[in-house]
Homo-oligomer: A and B are copies of this chain.
Amino acid sequence: MRVLFITSNKGKFKEAKRYLSPLGVELIRGRVDYPEIQADDLEEVVRFGLEWLRDKIDTPFFIDDSGLFVEAFGGFPGVYSAYVFKRLGNKGLLKLMEGVDYRDAYFKSVIGYYDGEIHIFRGIVKGSIGYEKRGEGGFGFDPIFIPHGFSRTFAQMTIEEKNKISHRGRALKAFSNWLKENLQNE
């Protein structure tokens, strides 16, 4: 079975392959620019993307979106995490958090799969925002995010460690579990 992953990110594609190849899925990377809307949650963004893409692609395909949601700021930067990271960086977010004791935050990842119908899969990892940047791994807000149950940031973990507990890893897990069951029933 052939499945397209519409993404410009090679790292994401590689990670997805690790989950889907063992199921006998032939994963192909597709590059199509699609609009991402402004919305309060990732599900809406992904749903709109699928609806926009579905008439243009005749193979089952999926897209994804992720964000960091800081509880003290009502979820900011959330859906706009990539933009906010580019403009303000970890430095900006740490500055906003100065004097803020309530540091709970979570990373969330949403995968939207289309096979004639829309299927949504989610992965969440809860944690907190640190007081300084730590670690050289990962990307984006990883150096200031400490997942619950750990004392290290995402950026201080190996890729394997991080993928095992990450939002994206969990969403991929949910997706591949569903796909596995679905393929068996065919």
Interface residues of A (CB under 8 A from B): 35-38, 48, 73-76, 79-80, 83-84, 86-88, 92, 95-96, 98
Contact = CB atoms under 8 A, between A and B. Distances in A.
B83 A38 contact: yes
Contacts of A83: 38, 76, 80
A86 B74 contact: yes
Copies of this chain assembled into the complex: 2
Nearest to A48: B35
Nearest to A100: B95
26 contacts: A35-B35, A35-B37, A35-B38, A35-B48, A37-B37, A37-B38, A38-B38, A38-B79, A38-B83, A73-B87, A73-B88, A73-B92, A74-B86, A74-B87, A75-B87, A76-B83, A76-B84, A76-B87, A76-B88, A80-B80, A80-B83, A88-B96, A95-B95, A95-B96, A95-B98, A96-B96
Contacts of A76: 83-84, 87-88
A47 B86 CA distance: 24
A98 B88 CA distance: 13
A91 B160 CA distance: 39
Smallest CB-CB A-B distances: 10 pairs:
A76-B87, A35-B37, A36-B38, A74-B87, A73-B87, A80-B80, A37-B37, A38-B38, A92-B96, A95-B96
A13 B92 CA distance: 36
Contacts of A80: 38, 80, 83
